[in-house]
Every structure is written in C-alpha cells, then in structure tokens.
Structure 1
Amino acid sequence: MKTDPKTFIADFFTSLSDDLVNTDEDAAVIIDRYHTPDIMQLADGNPIDRDKLIAHTRPVRKNRPESRMEVHEAYTDGDRLAARYTLHVRQRGKDLAIDVHFFGRFTPDGRMREAHLLTRSV
C-alpha cells in the first residue's frame, strides 16, 4: 500500500459506504469494486462471503445511515493491514459507536481479499 494505513482504511470504508448510500448503482458492482470475488470476512465469528455482503447492502441502503470513522492506529505489512478504529453511526435518530479491531488482506489494486473483525458497542 502506497497510502498511509490510517488514510487507506478510512478512505476504503468511507468510499464503499458513500457508493452504497448515495448512488443507485447495482450493489453487486459496488461490492466487486471493493472486494475480490472470493472475499471472506469473519465478523465476530460470523462468516460473510460475497453473497452475504451483497445482501447486507439492502438494509444499509434502506436505512441510509450517516457514519464516520475515527482511526486510532493502523499498520501494514505487505498485503496485510491491522487497524483499530471507532465507527460512529447515526441512524434513525440514534447515535451508535462501535469499536473495531480489524485484520485484513488487500490486493495491490486496493480490493479487500480477507478480513477478521472484532467489534463491541461503546
């Protein structure tokens, strides 16, 4: 990664969210822009593949949450990125904050290949 890791991870999720919430582009096209076809995320022990990611876009698009990331630290080693951040979300008049510990792998063109996320509400 040529970009600062904090900037990269914030830009990745911000751009993905903006594309989902602020466009009518096909969700599968958006997911494929940001992820490899064999993407596998493990979020709090729950496996999420490409099809589940696409399905997850429906409630995101319906609720149209506002969000911002506060990246506390991020490090890279080759194609691997580790980050600790807080996701601040405003949805239906409620404010949520979620601490995230993220460990992932990315392709040279910036698409996510694999991710392990541990989260907790704060």
Structure 2
Amino acid sequence: MSDITEPAARRLLIDHTRDMALSDEDLAHIVDRTLTDDAVWVTDGTELTRGQLIAHAAPARKNVTAGHMRIDDLLVDGRRFAARCCLTAQHRKLGRVASEWLLIGEVAEDGRVRRIHQLGRTPTAEPETGE
C-alpha cells in the first residue's frame, strides 16, 4: 500500500478511537496494529510515547460507557491525511463530553500511522434557554 484512501483514513481514525476506549482488546495490541514502532503522536504540542498512549486509554475504558467519532472534514493526499472531527463520549462521572480535534497524519507503507499531530479543544457547554 503506498497511498491511503479516504475510506481507509476514516476507518483508521474511527476504529482506533473506538477500540482504545471501548473494546476489551489488549491496548498494546491495538497500538501495535494501528501505529508503527517508530510512530510519533503529538497532542497539543506534547509528544506521547507508545506507553503514554496506552496509559491514557486505560482510565477512559473505566469511565467511558459510549462514544462516537464524527469526522466533519477529511483530506487525503498520498500517504498523508488531515481531518477535522469531534469525539463525543458518555462519561460515568462527567456525563456527555465532546472534544473537537484537528489531526494531520501520515501512514507507513503498511497502512499503519507513522505520525499524527493533533490539536484539540473541549467546547464549553451552551447554557439552556428554557425554551
């Protein structure tokens, strides 16, 4: 595989996010399946190691009861992709949590992620108007 297709990029983002938060599969297996051994994952300027990605997902599995990754925009060019998306999760203690993400990524020859740079924000909730 030399290029990533739009459907493959969409599946990669959705499946990786869902599996990390909601599946019973071993987190290390998910990371190994979706990221190369030398992958670089940068979130809001902080580079995360493989171990940090796994550690981040463990509490999510304990607290997230449902989740959905919506991809609003997706651009694909060769092995590179860019996406604007929203992750909505139902959290046991916090209720509904939504995070907006901008991601720029690159896949390796085998289709696994080599690099992701991600910027995120959690929008503030809009007050109810009572209408």
TM-score computed with the length of structure 1 as normaliser: 0.84
Quick check: 2:34–2:112 contact (8 Å CA) kept in 1? Answer: yes
**Worse overlay, 110-119 or 56-65:** 56-65
Q: What is the alpha-carbon distance in structure 2 between the residues aligned to residue 2 and residue 112 of structure 1?
A: 10
Quick check: 2:85–2:102 contact (8 Å CA) kept in 1? Answer: yes
Q: What is the alpha-carbon distance in structure 2 between the residues aligned to residue 65 and residue 8 of structure 1?
A: 26
| Residue of structure 2 in register with 1:112 after alignment | 113
State the secondary structure of the residue aligned to 2:109: coil
How big is the alpha-carbon RMSD for the aligned residues of Structure 1 and Structure 2? 1.9
Q: Residue by residue, what CA displacement relative to the aligned partner does 1:33-83 show, whole Å, maximum 9, x if unpaired?
A: 010111111101111121211222211222234211221111111111011
Matches within 5 A, 1:39-58: 39-58=39-58
Q: What is the alpha-carbon distance in structure 1 between the residues aligned to residue 66 and residue 113 of structure 2?
A: 22
Number of matched pairs: 119
| Residue of structure 2 in register with 1:69 after alignment | 69
Matches within 5 A, 1:18-33: 18-20=18-20, 21-23=22-24, 25-33=25-33
Q: Residue by residue, what CA displacement relative to the aligned partner does 1:61-115 show, whole Å, maximum 9, x if unpaired?
A: 2223421122111111111101111111111161111111100011233211100
Q: Kindly name which structure, 1 or 2, has the bigger radius of gyration based on alpha carbons.
A: 2
**Worse overlay, 83-92 or 10-19:** 10-19
Q: What is the alpha-carbon distance in structure 2 between the residues aligned to residue 87 and residue 96 of structure 1?
A: 8
Change (3 A) 1:40 1:76: same
Structure 1 unpaired stretches of 5+: none
Matches within 5 A, 1:82-101: 82-92=82-92, 94-101=95-102
Alignment partner of 1:59 is 2:65: no
